[in-house]
Structure formats: C-alpha cells, structure tokens
Amino acid sequence: MSKKRTITSSFSYAWEGIIEAFKNEPNFKIHLVFAALAITAGFVLKISSQEWTTLILTVSAVITLELINTAIEALVDITSPKISRLAKTAKDVSAAAVLITSLGALIIGLIIFLPKISYSAFFY
C-alpha cells in the first residue's frame, strides 16, 4: 500500500523533478531556452489568443516529453545496467518522441511567427 501524500508534498516532488532535469539534462535546458524565446516572441509580436493557446500547448508538450524521456532513460539504466538491445530501443524511441515533437513545435513556431516577422519587416 502506498503512503498518502499531501498536495504540497506532491508539488514539492514535481518541482524536485524539474530541478533535477534542469541540473542534469542539457537538452532540457535547450528546450527551456527555446520556450523562453518563443514566449518572448509571442509578447513582442502580439500573437492572438488562439496562437497563445497553440504555443503554450506546443511548448508544454515538448518539455513534458523531455521529462518523460529523462524518466524512461533513468528507469532503463536502473533495470538494465548491461547493454541490451531492448534497453537501447526504449531509450531511442523515447528520444525520437521528443525529436518529433520538437520538429512539430518548430513548424508550429514558423507558422505562427514567420507571417508576423515578414509583415513587421516589410512595413516598418
């Protein structure tokens, strides 16, 4: 039977996970930098509510998948310390999920921001 946790302790564990990823996962930092750039661009270019919704969902998906990828890699390392084809598959597939989502985020960013950048550069 598991221990009962308070909401406060649950949030605390979640923040510990974010801090752990930030300290030890270079790709997590890269995703956060791009997220900050996209959010800053959203403010500067005054994107619409619908574009904000799309941007926030996209950024959240990439960061969430990076965290899940980190968790999968840690679990694989614990359960399969020796080199294993299946362990490699688990790590590679979880990394591929992050890659595909990141590429989708890039395309969404281009769809949102390119017209605004082109319009701004042309008229100012």
Q: What gap in Å lies between CA 118 and CA 115, rounded to an integer?
A: 5
Candidate list 16, 20, 66, 73, residue with the active-site label = 66
Quick one: CA torsion of 23, 26, 32, 33, rounded to 10 degrees? Answer: 120
DSSP character at residue 2:
P
Whether 66 sits among the annotated catalytic residues: the reply is yes
- Which active-site residues does the annotation give? 66
